[in-house]
Amino acid sequence: MKAIEFLIKNQSDATDNWREEAEYRRKNAKWLRYSAMISLKVRDRMSQIGMTQVVLAERLGCTQQHISMLLKGKNNLTLETIAKLEEALDFNIIGESLIPANGYKESTAQSHHTYLSEAESVPYGKSK
């Protein structure tokens, strides 16, 4: 009985939010996984080039504490933040994966040219 009495006497008064936390992780699993993968890539790159959190924070114009939070892999990173990380680390995190295999500039230039040609030949709101 001493063990049970000890446990009852020393139990925490704090409420346990494990259910809410588990539900949050379940609902946000996909972007949390992406955030963790990006965090690992950033950590690996920082190790490769010998960069500290303080130096990265200076390059991004934020605090070391903010970088620490980013590196935990639990933040919903914006594309702007990811792009800044890529620039600060001189490293592609997702940039290359967004460019089509046949080349972004060629495909957009062609489609843009075609669109302009069609717009010039047919006045807006009129059909041929």
Q: Are 47 and 91 in contact (CB under 8 A)?
A: no
**Token digits of residue 15:** 């409420």
Own/partner long-range contacts of 101-109 (Cβ < 8 Å, ≥24 apart) = none
Instruction: Compute the distance between CA of residue 127 and CA of residue 92 in angstroms, rounded to an integer.
Output: 45
Q: What SS3 class is residue 61?
A: coil
User: Domain segments of the chain: what residues?
Assistant: 21-98
End-to-end CA distance of the chain: 92
Superfamily of domain 21-98: lambda repressor-like DNA-binding domains (1.10.260.40)
Instruction: Give the pLDDT confidence of 94-107 residue by residue, as tens digits.
Output: 877 766 656 555 44
Instruction: Give the pLDDT confidence of 1-57 residue by residue, as tens digits.
Output: 688 888 888 887 777 788 999 999 999 999 999 999 999 999 999 999 999 999 999
Question: What does pTM read for this prediction?
Answer: 0.64
Task: Give the CB-side neighbour count of residue 58, counting CA atoms within 13 A.
Answer: 4
Instruction: Compute the distance between CA of residue 3 and CA of residue 50 in angstroms, rounded to an integer.
Output: 50
